[in-house]
Amino acid sequence: MDRVLIIGAGAAGSVVAKKCAMDRETFKHIHLASRRIESCEKVASETVTPIEISQVDADDVEATAALIEQVKPDLVINMALPYQDLPIMDACLEAGANYMDTANYEPREEAKFEYKWQWAYQDRFREAGLTAILGCGFDPGMTNIYCAYAQQEGLFDEIEYIDIVDCNAGDHGKTFATNFNPEINLREVTQDGKYWKNGDWIEIPALSIRTMIDYPEVGPTMSYLIYHEEEESLVKHIKGLKQIRFWMTFGDEYIKHLDVFKSIGLIGLEPIKHKGMDIIPIEFLRDLLPVPSTLAEGYTGKTSIGVILRGTKDGQPVTKMIYNVSDHAKTNEEVGAQAVSYTTGVPPVSGAKMFFDGVWSGTGVFNVEQFPAKPFLEDVSERGLPFHVKDVSANDQAALFDVDT
Write down the domain spans for the chain. 3-138+340-382, 142-337+386-401
Please write down the HEC assignment for all residues of 72-88. Answer: CCCEEEECCCHHHHHHH
Q: Model confidence at 67, in pLDDT bands (50, 70, 90)?
A: very high
- Name the H helices within 240-327: 252-263, 281-288
Instruction: Tell whether the model's pLDDT for residue 296 goes beyond 80.
Output: no
Segment 297-305 shows an average pLDDT of 93
Parallel, antiparallel or unpaired: strands 277-279 and 272-274? antiparallel
- pTM for this structure? 0.94
Give domain 3-138+340-382's CATH number out of 3.40.50.300, 3.40.50.720, 1.10.10.60, 3.20.20.80. Answer: 3.40.50.720
Distance CA 189, CA 265 (A): 15
How would you class 191 by CB atoms within 10 Å of its CB: exposed for 0-12, middle for 13-18, buried for 19 or more? middle
Instruction: Tell whether the model's pLDDT for residue 298 goes beyond 90.
Output: no
Class of the CATH domain delimited by 142-337+386-401: alpha beta
Distance CA 302, CA 275 (A): 43
Which letter, b or e, does each residue of 320-340 get, where b requires 16 or more Cβ atoms within 10 Å of its Cβ?
bbbbbbbbbbebbeebbbbbb
Crossing angle, helix 85-95 and helix 61-71, to 10 degrees? 50
> Smallest Cα–Cα separation from 359: which of 385, 344, 345, 378?
378
Find all residues with CB under 8 Å of 396, minimum gap 6, and list them.
214
pLDDT of residue 294: 82
Instruction: Tell whether the model's pLDDT for residue 9 goes beyond 90.
Output: yes
Q: Is the peptide bond before 140 cis (omega within 30 degrees of 0)?
A: yes
pLDDT of residue 267: 81
pLDDT of residue 130: 98
Q: Model confidence at 370, in pLDDT bands (50, 70, 90)?
A: very high
How would you class 230 by CB atoms within 10 Å of its CB: exposed for 0-12, middle for 13-18, buried for 19 or more? buried
pLDDT of residue 260: 86
Give the chain's mean pLDDT: 94
Distances, alpha carbon 259 to alpha carbons 23, 47, 122, in Å: 44, 40, 40
How would you class 79 by CB atoms within 10 Å of its CB: exposed for 0-12, middle for 13-18, buried for 19 or more? buried
Q: Model confidence at 397, in pLDDT bands (50, 70, 90)?
A: very high
pLDDT of residue 172: 84
Find all residues with CB under 8 Å of 171, minimum gap 6, and list them.
299, 300, 301
Between 206 and 174, whose confidence is greater?
206
Kindly compute the dihedral angle of the four CA atoms of residues 368, 369, 371, 374, in this order, to the nearest 10 degrees: 110
- Within 10 Å of residue 388's Cβ, how many Cβ atoms? 13
Between 182 and 281, whose confidence is greater?
281
